[in-house]
Each structure stands twice: as C-alpha cells, then as structure tokens.
Homo-oligomer: A and B are copies of this chain.
Amino acid sequence: MPGGPLTGIRLMTDARRQTLRLRRVAIDTYKENVAYLHRDCAVYRTEGFQALTKVEVRTGEGRRRRVLAVLNVVDDESITGCEELGLSEQAFEQLGLPEGRSVRVAHAELPPSLDAVHRKIAGERLSLKDFRAIARDIVASRYSKTEMTAFLVSCSQAGLEREEVLHLTRAMVECGERLDWGEPLVADKHCIGGIPGNRTSMLVVPIVAAHGMLIPKTSSRAITSPAGTADTMALLAQVKLPPKKLRGIVRRQRGCLAWGGTARLAPMDDILISVERPLFLDSPGQMVASILAKKLAAGSTHLLIDIPVGPTAKVRHTAEALQLRKLFEFVGDRLGLHLEVVITDGRQPVGRGIGPVLELRDVMQVLENDPQAPPDLRQKALWLAGRVLEFDPDVRGGQGYAIARDILDSGRAINKMRDIVKAQGRNPVRVEPGTLQHEVKAPASGFVNGIDNKQMARIARLAGAPMDKGAGVDLFKKLGDPVETGEPLYRIYADFPADYRFARELAEKDSGFRIGDRRPARPAEATFF
C-alpha cells in the first residue's frame, strides 16, 4: 500500500537528499512521462510520495535538465532497483542523459499554465498568452493526462468563446512545425466525421490532383469509426510514408492519400487526442481549433469543410451546423485560410459498404464508372470536388461540378489514383469481405424512414472493422427505399465467430433501420448537396 511510515524522521530526512542512478525502463507510456521508484528506495519512503504523485527529475544543482513525470512504485528490483530512478522511454529521451547518471527527484511544482486551467474551470475567458503557455507546457510534456483532461473538459463544458478558439488554434499551430509547399494554392478537404462509409477523400483527391491542383491529403486511421481513409487506402497502397518521400510524391502527382501521423504538425493536438478520443470529448471549439491547426500546420491555403447534418450525425440540426460554420469561418479568416464550409446530408451512411474492404469496393466502383456504383457517394464526391476545384481562380463559380464529372467520367480520376498508388507503393495483399455472412431482414413492409449512423457503425465495429479489414456491413437499402417484409436490409461480414455473434446480437436488438408507412421527405432547410 502507498504511504510510508511517519516515524524514524531523522534517518529519513538524511536519506532524502541521496541521489539515484538513472535507468531507462523500456515501457512506452505514450504521451505521459512516468518515473519508477522502488518501494524500498529511501527517497520514496521519505518524500511522502504516493504512486501517481507527479515528480520532478533533475541532475545536480547547477544543471538545467529536468523532466516532470508521474510516479509508479516498483516492487521488483529487476525493473528498478532501490538505488535507481527509472524513466519510461519518452521521459528518458527528454531528459537526454545516459543511464547511470546521478539524478535527484522531488515533488514537482505544477506547470505554471495550470493556473489558467483553474481560471477556465472557474468560468473565466482565457487570453492568447494563456493558451500559448498551456500549449508550451503540454508540448513539453509538463502536463499529466489528468491535467490535460481538466483543460479539455473545462473548455468543453463552459465552451470556448470564438476569440478563445482563435487563440487556441494559433497556439496549437505555433508549437509545432509548419509545412510550406512553395505554392500559392494548397487545397485540402476535411469532414468533421460521424458518417459511416463517407470515403469521399479517395475520390476528391484523384479528381482534384488530375485537374493539377495541389492536394496533399493526409488522414487519420479509424479510432472510433469502422474505417478511416488511411485504413481504406492502406488496402491499395503504403500510407505510412517518410515526410521526404511524401513531399516528392506530392510534387510529382499533385496529390497523395497518406497517413498523417509521421510529421510533427500541431503536436499539441496529437497529445490532446490521446485524452480526447478515449473520453469521446468532442466540443465545437476544440474541434474547430484542432482541425484548423492541423491544416494550417500542413501548409493548406484553401480548405473545404464538410459538416454532415442528421439526427444521428455529430451535428443534429442545421442551426447548430450554421453556428459551427460561423466559428470555422471566424477562425479561418483571421488566420489567413481561405475556407469554405458545406453542410451536407448526414441522415444516413454514404455509399453501401461500411468497413475498409467494403468501402474500398464502393470507391473503386465510382472511380471505374461502374453502373453499380453507389450514386450518393459519386454525387457527394463530385459535388465536394467541384467546390474544391472552384478554389482555382481560373474556374468559374458553378463550373466545378461539371469539371469534376468530366475528370471522373473520362477515366482521368482513376488513372490519377493508379499513379498515386504506384508512387506510394502498391500493397500486394488482397483482402476479401469476411467469410461469415448474415443478412438482416425487414421486419415489416413499408419505406426506410431512418438509418442510424451510430448503430450501423457499432455493428460494423463489433463485426471486426477496422481491425479485420473484410469485416463490416453492406447496405442493400437506403433512406426512402420501399421494402417488403423479410427482404434483406443489409449483410454483416465477419471473420471470427465471436465477432460474428456479437454483431448479429446487436443487430437483433436494434437493426439501426426504421421502417415506416410513408416515404420520408427530404429536408428542405439545409444546403444539402
């Protein structure tokens, strides 16, 4: 149990001044520094430390090197001995000293910017100076995970005013590297997420790059969704590319579809995400700052933002989407980013497939002008690509869509995709849809009145997506389609019996489909494509 005895005081206060030998403990604690002390170490016994106390590790008095770390207490000398101080990999590298060097350890003072976090918790508005100090401390690993959570939740609950979002964005950009592509127009598109099957980037990038506009697209892998663009693209090509190679590909091909995890762009965001994601924190202010900081750091000059709206989308009402749009515009304008925000139909998944293999099939059908291609995916991609093309001053307003369609229909888009795949490095492994298949049938006749994005994503994830690339859900019916009792609504694909059973059970509890007597009306209020 933590907490040493309270007696034997003289002995302890002497021991307390002892130095310890530095040791690297080969544990990767990700975005959090951890220090390891043996329970019988004199320093641990005397300092009144408890496990998870934050400590400062430093060299002799004259030196400047120091790191902050959360303390773990060790009961095994093979991990950390009584005379040693262990540091997890990241912390060891930050201290930058060889093993065996003498170090001291003390209770850590709080990072100074935590005062601003407390003011935020108390309901105050923070300044650019505050956000800069917070960003500096976070990027220097001076925040523990709990301190980061306190910051995020405090910004999330009371919300950030738009000036604060601007400050946060600026602070996030400043604390990392910033790419410069050396061109006046560097385009990008970004969807705020939440809609399964929404793989438009894999269509927009080849179309826009085929037009000659620079679009160096980097994406994340799925963490909470059944597939990310990087997961799906990885079925075709290498997506983890060294920055220099990526640069060469983009220069020659005008575009790429890569994983964004290799550059040090807006590193504060990556650190915050390590806390945000597991907590499913997703407040408008943080979302806007996070997206725009990444894009600015990546050197984008022109950005199209896609906000899908629907009852089971991230944004449920058009009014909310318009508010979010204004926030994007406010911050983008002040930071010199040419920004267009489009509000799209987020009432149901896009395309038919949900899960990497099935989504790739949809994308390839569109690229190949297959008559079977899902029309909504094609339409949405053309419409978004058209808006991006209109960033080109030589493209007349309203002409983008037609140009995009020409590029797609003529085969120039698929040729560009092939070139990009070749340049990134073809992935020779071919994956098929899962072998365990189950059809979910309509319980009644009528029309499809609703498809729950979240439920479909959950079923696809339980089936194994995105880890099992062939797992997921294939939709046979979409909103407004007539159905007969017993007609299949969708098919679940899985590779493993347990996943298969879990996904089926979830679909039995709630299929995600709503069947009604009347065909649902298209919502008239929004700027739907």
Contacts and interface: CB of A to CB of B under 8 A. Distances in A.
Interface of A: 1-3, 5-10, 12-13, 16-17, 25-32, 34, 36, 39, 46-48, 50-54, 61, 72-76, 78-79, 88-89, 110, 114, 118, 121-123, 144-150, 153-154, 156-158, 221-223, 230-231, 234, 238-240, 259, 261, 274-275, 278-281, 427, 429, 431, 464, 466-469, 495-496, 498
A28 B9 contact: no
A39 B28 contact: yes
Contacts of A25: 76, 79
Nearest to A115: B280
A25 B177 CA distance: 38
Nearest to A434: B13
17 contacts: A1-B261, A3-B221, A5-B240, A9-B469, A26-B79, A27-B79, A29-B51, A32-B52, A48-B222, A52-B278, A79-B79, A110-B280, A114-B280, A121-B281, A149-B153, A150-B279, A150-B281
Contact of A279 (B5, B147, B234): B147
B261 A3 contact: yes
A148 to B, nearest CB: 8
B28 A2 contact: yes
Nearest to A88: B72
Contacts of A118: 280
Contacts of A122: 157
Contacts of A7: 234, 238, 427, 429
Given A146-B149, A429-B7, A26 B75 contact: yes
Q: Give the most central of A10, A46, A78, A259: most B CB within 10 Å.
A: A10
Q: Give the most central of A25, A54, A88, A259: most B CB within 10 Å.
A: A25
Contact of A10 (B3, B48, B280, B431): B431
A200 B234 CA distance: 67
Contacts of A32: 52
Given A7-B234, A26-B75, A469-B9, A278 B54 contact: yes
A3 to B, nearest CB: 6
B46 A36 contact: no
Nearest to A71: B30
Contacts of A275: 146
Contacts of A278: 52-54, 144, 146-147
A191 to B, nearest CB: 20
B150 A495 contact: no
A56 to B, nearest CB: 13
Contacts of A234: 6-7
B110 A496 contact: no
Contacts of A73: 27-28, 30
